[in-house]
Chain A
Amino acid sequence: TQLLEQSPQFLSIQEGENLTVYCNSSSVFSSLQWYRQEPGEGPVLLVTVVTGGEVKKLKRLTFQFGDARKDSSLHITAAQPGDTGLYLCAGARETSGSRLTFGEGTQLTVNP
């Protein structure tokens, strides 16, 4: 059983479209992170959210942490080909110290 469920698993869209990726769990997390991974590289941190209901914006990317701290979403406005990659959510629980639990990832392809 996956602790963090991401949806959709695959997403292929045209340049200029908007999209939302979801990360859901039945567990409460003290913080949640989003990473982006490109082929042949390790994941790179995009954002950390720590407060229930928190919204953070990073240019065209908007991240939200659910009020109950069990879920998160990533919204991309006017997607560009450079947004193509694997998006991973990762959660930290109070009992797990510095260990992160990762979701399965959403593979995003933005076609020109």
Chain B
Amino acid sequence: DAGITQSPRHKVTETGTPVTLRCHQTENHRYMYWYRQDPGHGLRLIHYSYGVKDTDKGEVSDGYSVSRSKTEDFLLTLESATSSQTSVYFCAITPRVRGTEAFFGQGTRLTVV
């Protein structure tokens, strides 16, 4: 358990509304990631962070923004949710140790109607 908590766990929202998902970690890891999981696509990287205020885009970043004002919190925002953003979202961390796997939060199931 790497002390990662995602909130909310489930959310239903309407098309066009803004949505923010939160990832909170308790172990002071520097590197954090947001993935989305869709059937037939596996997990795809949306954005990542390598420190406070240091973020960058991943493979599927269009329509998403992130912020990291504190080490422990990494926020993912959908500025104007679309039905194509219905997905399961995972936050992950990778400790800066050679060979260590990624640790994941419990996931957030987001449905955009």
A binds B: no
Residues in chain A within 8 A of chain B (CB atoms): none
Residues in chain B within 8 A of chain A (CB atoms): none
